[in-house]
C-alpha cells in the first residue's frame, strides 16, 4: 500500500528565511506521481506541482523549488525568502496514476507559520 509521511507537523520561520518541507513516500509501483498542495487559512486546497516517477529533474517556480530523489523516496519542497502569505498547511500526495481515488494518498500535512 502507498504511504506518504510528512514528519514535520509544524514549522515556524521568520519572514525572508528559507524553509524546506519534507516528504517521504512509500510505494512498490515503478510508475507513480507526486504532488504538493497548499491549504491557506481560507481553507481551499490549491494544487502546486505534479511530478512523475520518471522525471527526477528538480523544478523551480519563483520562490518555490522541489527536490525529487528516488534514491531516498523523497520529494521535498523549499520556499526561498518566505513571506507571511506562505503561511498555510502543505500536503504532499502520491498517486499511482490509475485515477482511482483510493490510490491518491495524502500525507498528514505540515503547518507552516511565517512570522513577520
Distances (CA, A) of 49 to 43, 94, 97: 18, 12, 15
3-state secondary structure of 98: coil
Q: Rule CB under 8 A: is residue 108 a binding residue for another protein?
A: yes
Per CB under 8 A, the list member of 11, 64, 97, 113 interacting with another protein is: 97
Distance from chain centroid for Cα 55: 16
Per CB under 8 A, the list member of 43, 57, 61, 71 interacting with another protein is: 43
Q: Rule CB under 8 A: is residue 35 a binding residue for another protein?
A: yes
Backbone angles phi, psi at 89, to 5 degrees: -100, 130
Q: Rule CB under 8 A: is residue 109 a binding residue for another protein?
A: yes
Residues near another protein (CB under 8 A) are 32-33, 35, 37, 42-47, 50, 52, 91, 95-97, 99-109
Amino acid at each position: 500500500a502507498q504511504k506518504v509521511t510528512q514528519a514535520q507537523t509544524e514549522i515556524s520561520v521568520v519572514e525572508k528565511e528559507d524553509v524546506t518541507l519534507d516528504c517521504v513516500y512509500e510505494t512498490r509501483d515503478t510508475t507513480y506521481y507526486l504532488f504538493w498542495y497548499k491549504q491557506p487559512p481560507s481553507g481551499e486546497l490549491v494544487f502546486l506541482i505534479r511530478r512523475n516517477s520518471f522525471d527526477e529533474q528538480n523544478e523551480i517556480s519563483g520562490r518555490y523549488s522541489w527536490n525529487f530523489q528516488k534514491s531516498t523516496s523523497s520529494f521535498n519542497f523549499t520556499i526561498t525568502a518566505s513571506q507571511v502569505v506562505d503561511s498555510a498547511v502543505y500536503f504532499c500526495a502520491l498517486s499511482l496514476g490509475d485515477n482511482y481515488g483510493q490510490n491518491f494518498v495524502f500525507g498528514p500535512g505540515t503547518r507552516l507559520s511565517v512570522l513577520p
